[in-house]
Chains A and B, each alone.
Chain A
Amino acid sequence: MKIHKYDTVIVGAGGAGMRAAIEATKRSRTAVLTKLYPTRSHTGAAQGGMAAALANVEEDNWEWHTFDTVKGGDYLVDQDAAEILAKEAIDAVLDLEKMGLPFNRTPQGTIDQRRFGGHSRNHGEAPVRRSCYAADRTGHMILQTLYQNCVKEGVEFFNEFYVLDQLITEVDGVRQSAGVVAYELATGEIHVFQAKSVIYASGGTGKFFKVTSNAHTLTGDGQAACYRRGLPLEDMEFFQFHPTGIWRMGILLTEGARGEGGILRNKDGERFMEKYAPVMKDLASRDVVSRSIYTEIREGRGCGPEGDHVFLDLTHLPPEQLDAKLPDITEFARTYLGIEPYTDPIPIQPTAHYAMGGIPTNVEGEVLADNTTVVPGLYAAGEVACVSVHGANRLGTNSLLDINVFGKRAGIAAADYAADAEWVDLPEDPAALVEEQIERLRNSTGGERVAELRRELQETMDANVMVFRTEQTIKTAVEKITELRERYRNVSVQDKGKRFNTDLLEAVELGNLLDLAEVMAVSALARKESRGGHYREDFPNRDDVNFMRHTMAYREVGADGTETVRLDYKPVVQTRYQPMERKY
């Protein structure tokens, strides 16, 4: 075991982690621990753009953006945070441009902007061009630009280091962050990083679904590390299903395709979104569009022999426009489906895409131990966190924005805190939990296989807690997850080595997914209403009287060692917008 000491430790090197690292490295001695090489993170898979009311191509202002964000989140958004997001969006985009990001340009040479789902002029009047973009690889360009600037600033990376535990020490009755424990993939060695500040920026948890746009590595490691140490997870029942994943594969096809004029059609060729969202049509919010697609499929208007998908039609758009604005997704259609999007529509289905919930933070990125108490020295930003700017449903282009605005804020806040804070003592035997976990998995001779349990988890999640949910389906999922957690105790791995043991790490990741799937299902069962990404067929309406509140889930361990999820609730911050019926 090795011990390292840094002022600031950042967990994750995607957009939020690297944006934080650029700020933190200027202000404090900083280490970035990342389970992948920095440019491998899933920020790079984001396509369509980053929202900011620059008003470069038509009238716009950040107040409209705030409203769209609050409405898009079905009023579960904390409005003070949404206001910061929309206001600071403008500088966040300009910062990236100055760092070198090659945005597409207008004829005047300014940053070009395009339409995106849920973004509107004057509180819902009509779609507005607010998304700043670089072809359909905006996330790729953000990730590359941030890494380039990390190289410029001399950010210190520990590549292929998996953080497996959050260290907490109680000082005068206050739980404080003391550091993290990481597993070095290349050698199997355990490292303890003592730090005054820790920032989680480790991304989402989409791999508990089968059809998902998420990378194999998005297994909720940061959420699980905090949750197991008694910290809450907020709004985990809210998961976004992106309307246009490649049929059966789940690979993302950007909403920018519809922003450029693409149309969703059922088997009769009908533009069905006109029925569900007369104003915004194909550019309604993602939860609305995904439900509409499944409604078409359920009512027998799906395409293909099994009627299990619909079409994204780009054939009426000029090939030059597809080449210039959507080159990557058209290539995905050619590579993976053998379809030419110039002439043929693309089969799509909703794909599990984004966790609205996560580690609760305030607007400075400080992690909350309950509804109000901050954990000194602990921060989170990006998809791992829940500020909450996305509420019950995130708007497209607001996640690339979120990582830049709150990544920067967390980086500054954590480094400033580290500048004044005293060192917190490490707990006794800090690596004990991780060493025990690794050795148990490595030495287990149990008969359960990681891949089989993960397949069963993904299948039950897709079948029971996806776009449509009922008490019955969620209960089925909870029972199945309980069974899988029990069987997980008998999981064993074939690779017993120390060097690059990815077999072992997949077992660790499965443990994280199982914990988080349980939190999600239990949170969803208790929310007897429909709001944003959480749709209950048995409670199809939003219930502001009983459920205009955030879910806070805690892990409880009973005297006999049994683990349960305890739910509590936190009020939503409402400032200027009163909840209204949500129409697009």
Chain B
Amino acid sequence: MATPVLDKAEAEAQPASPYITVTFRIRRFDPEVSAEAVWEDFRIEIDPKERVLDGLHKIKWDVDGTLTFRRSCAHGICGSDAMRINGKNRLACKTLIKDINPDKPITIEAIKGLTVLKDLIVDMEPFFQAYRDVMPFLVTTGNEPTRERLQSAEDRERFDDTTKCILCAACTSSCPVFWNDGQYFGPAAIVNAHRFIFDSRDEAGEQRLEILNDKDGVWRCRTTFNCTDACPRGIEVTKAIQEVKRALITRRF
């Protein structure tokens, strides 16, 4: 079945075109071309109901094929396209043009605190290393049951919020502590530790707390809430970090 497609002439003839002209101001960097990063403006026609990612695609596909960014699912679940849009960390595929004032140039740059490799692509390896360091997997001892482990709906609910994480790095790369010191585990790693510390089936909570008790652990958090604002999944990141701090003091989780 065809999806109705207007040909160009017909579209132009219609008085109420949904398209507006928007300027994308993008921080470009390609070490094969120049050691310096530069801002470059692109003017594009776009429906305000479209995503920032759609705008980036219009540029890459029709104007400048060298523009480079990561993306995959295009609806906020794969975590590939976190970037700094008008100074705030967001997913390009979950940010609609109309929601970010299209009257002014929209600034787009790579997330901060991780090395920029080309245009909007950063080196994710330190981010994933911090994640791997918090033992982000269920640890149990003793014989496994034949059927599933039992868990009450309340116990399941206890860590529901932190299971939503898609490892996009929007939180970690919005954190001023992480900008200044890349050794800090960062919010995303703590969120993923939280997800297991508060899972009633898990038996390695103490070990994870010790890991996060480190000088680069949770105590570095200065509660600026940037991470919570940045999370595209709506996770209460700062609250999760506070709960880990409290568990460290009380050893109750």
Contact = CB atoms under 8 A, between A and B. Distances in A.
Interface string A136-155: 01001100100011011000
Contacts of A135: 160
Interface in B137-192: 137-138, 140, 144, 147-153, 156, 159-160, 163-167
A134 B71 contact: no
B118 A499 contact: yes
Contact of B156 (A102, A338, A494): A102
Given A105-B152, A215-B78, A151 B30 contact: no
Contacts of A224: none
Q: How large is the interface on A (under 10, 10 to 19, 20 to 34, 35 or more residues)?
A: 35 or more
Contacts of B94: 335
Interface string A93-105: 1100111101111
Given A94-B148, A110-B150, A152-B137, A498 B32 contact: yes
B80 A36 contact: yes
A251 B97 CA distance: 18
Contacts of A500: 68, 117-119, 121
Interface in A285-299: 294, 297
A119 interface: no
A379 interface: no
Interface in B62-106: 62, 64-66, 68-80, 94, 96
Interface string B189-202: 00000001001011
Contact of A148 (B60, B61, B136): B136
A513 to B, nearest CB: 15
Given A110-B150, A140-B77, A499-B31, A39 B166 contact: yes
A408 interface: no
A332 B91 CA distance: 14
Interface string A502-520: 1100000000000000000
Nearest to A307: B4
A191 interface: no
Contacts of B137: 99-100, 148-149, 151-152
Contacts, number: 169
- Interface residues of chain B: helix, strand, loop or mixed (majority): loop
Nearest to A186: B117
Contact of A151 (B66, B136, B199): B136
B118 A468 contact: no
Contacts of A249: 75
B246 interface: no
Given A100-B199, A251-B75, A495-B66, A308 B4 contact: yes
B9 interface: no
A111 interface: yes
Interface of B: 1-5, 30-33, 49, 60-62, 64-66, 68-80, 94, 96, 117-119, 121, 124, 128, 132, 136-138, 140, 144, 147-153, 156, 159-160, 163-167, 196, 199, 201-202, 234
29 contacts: A37-B80, A44-B73, A44-B166, A93-B148, A98-B149, A100-B201, A102-B163, A107-B153, A110-B147, A111-B148, A134-B163, A137-B77, A144-B165, A151-B137, A210-B3, A216-B71, A216-B73, A217-B72, A251-B75, A294-B1, A308-B3, A331-B234, A336-B96, A349-B3, A497-B30, A497-B33, A501-B68, A502-B60, A503-B60
The 5 closest A-B pairs by CB, nearest first: A100-B138, A494-B65, A451-B61, A109-B150, A503-B65
Given A37-B80, A41-B78, A151-B137, 13 more contacts: A39-B79, A97-B148, A99-B137, A102-B160, A105-B152, A148-B136, A149-B137, A215-B78, A332-B75, A449-B61, A451-B61, A467-B1, A500-B121
